[in-house]
Amino acid sequence: MKQSLFVVFMFVLGCIIGNVCQLHWQLHELSMIILYVLMFQVGISVGCSDNLKAILRNFRPKMLLLPLSSISGTLLFSGIISLALSHWTVFDCMAVGSGMGYYSLSSILITQLKLPTLGQQMAAELGTIALLSNICREMIALTCAPLWRKYFGPYAAVTAAGVTSVDVCLPAISRVCGKEMIPISLFHGMMIDMSVPILVPFLCELCTTTSYPLAE
């Protein structure tokens, strides 16, 4: 929770400094460097995980149902939400949702991938939406874990956490749902972690030919 609030604080601070000082940095090149570092970090964290190695040794095909359900439900809900947002296409909203709680990576990916079609202002706006919505997902998953467990069962607490079921939300899931959910939560988070760098670019590419009335 503190980490998420700190991210929001740094974002607001950056907005204030940028507005007051009118800095003109080469933000595109800087954000691309950050993106490359993040992708490298994702690969290292997945490849070096002892939990992943142990889970792969005991892998069963039915274990994929939970992350697949989590992804499908998130994309479906994002698509439904897009019906109320004339400013963005259904694929834009699904790209935001496909961040699955991975706010640092998804926001940068979306900003860079949408830059050629939307322009700097709208691409940054969509990236900001991705940042804040995925932070909100993490915070809701943490604070509402007991409610998900009570009304929808232990698996709901795992799917609500998205990618954070492997780290930030794992203690809450373990406390609320029991230690037997730890291996499932780890596997779910790792699969979601690997899906984000695939889903976000794919969904961003789907709407490259879509017109944006407000951007004209």
Residue 145 in any domain: the answer is yes
Overall number of domains in the chain: 1
* pLDDT cut 70: percent of the chain above it: 72
Helix axes 182-206, 27-47, angle to 10 degrees: 150
Residue 164 in any domain: the answer is yes
Domain that includes residue 132, residue range: 25-40+50-208
Residue 12 in any domain: the answer is no
Chain segment 152-183, per-residue pLDDT in tens: 999 999 999 999 998 888 888 988 998 888 88
| Cα–Cα dist 114/93, whole Å | 12
Count CB atoms within 10 A of the CB of residue 152.
12
pTM of the entire structure? 0.75
Residue 134 in any domain: the answer is yes
Residue 176 in any domain: the answer is yes
pLDDT of 179? 83
Residue 155 in any domain: the answer is yes
| Cα–Cα dist 155/176, whole Å | 11
Residue 67 in any domain: the answer is yes
- Cβ distance 176 to 157 under 8 Å? yes
Chain segment 35-81, per-residue pLDDT in tens: 567 667 656 765 666 666 666 666 778 889 999 999 999 999 999 99
